[in-house]
Structure 1
């Protein structure tokens, strides 16, 4: 860790530190919630958009596959272009992708929105971890910050199921996605004022081809498993995938 980074972390006041932790925790909660928040809303979305049971998996897996496949790529982007910029880019993309998915008139648009959500989450997660490390430099405050982060990350999936049920019941399934737009705007506006702005430290370029291939490979495995569940492992479609 550089001296400049340590000084910046030590000069952060208690009020600002709490705001930074709130911004980071809120962003992480948003990405964790969306792994499960639409699960309860799936029957309502299926009825509204008129797609079959076999296609329901893509509403969930489009998010998780893109998130997992692009996570290392997101970390590389943060190293090259800076943590705050990457965080803001991911948060803005997450809000826009949520709006697209919420307005979806058909399953392909909904799945595309969910995939973009996952890609944006892959930018948010590594950048917030880096922001935690450079902002909270004292041993005690860093332990507290990572404890909050861990609690939010671990409880997000369970909270998503509960929140998805409540929102679907009283507001409709589309609001399971619209809620991210509101949260992204609030977190982005606060984050612009309090997050430390540091340039990227890495050199080199982005290996976008490898990121696309890794994500496409994961998607192919998921698709193959889905085809096998429907047609059997010996079917031509499963064997090709």
Structure 2
């Protein structure tokens, strides 16, 4: 009786030099091997697509988590009623932004958490889920606090996207951050500050509003 070396076969399923044909052969041999093929980030997208209807949920979950999975397939998974698949797709950096926005409508905490940690989640989607995610709100406030002129060690290297994200996600724009944002050379920063001016700390809000209005009058 021949003994199957499963460890060697799994290793082969993940190897860079394994041909697409061999990967398909391994995937059809056993569900555990199909899962290895589905999760390997060097598996060609067309091979991944052939596993979309695999009966084993673990294989489909591996596909949903793999950034090499074709966006059209990830979009199809977003229409699934299986919560585990939705959670996996929400954390995949290759999931199309439109699908991430759709997922943001779900109230499931695990989906929200995956969206919050997905570096590809657009700012407008983060803004949708921020009120339901304390972590995002804290993250936004942290960006602004570190940027403020009254911070113990102000971080002056925040990028424009960082600062926009901070203003969008935080429920409060601290006075120190508002003063520095007002002097930022990027017109986009001041536009976003104007949009979120009602979040500015009350101690400087009137001053910031007046300055922005004067700036608008002279632009």
**TM-score range with shorter-chain normalisation?**
under 0.3
Structure ranking higher in helix proportion: 1
* Structure ranking higher on relative contact order (CA contacts 8 Å, 6+ apart): 1
Name which one, 1 or 2, has greater alpha-carbon Rg.
2
TM-score using structure 2 length: 0.25
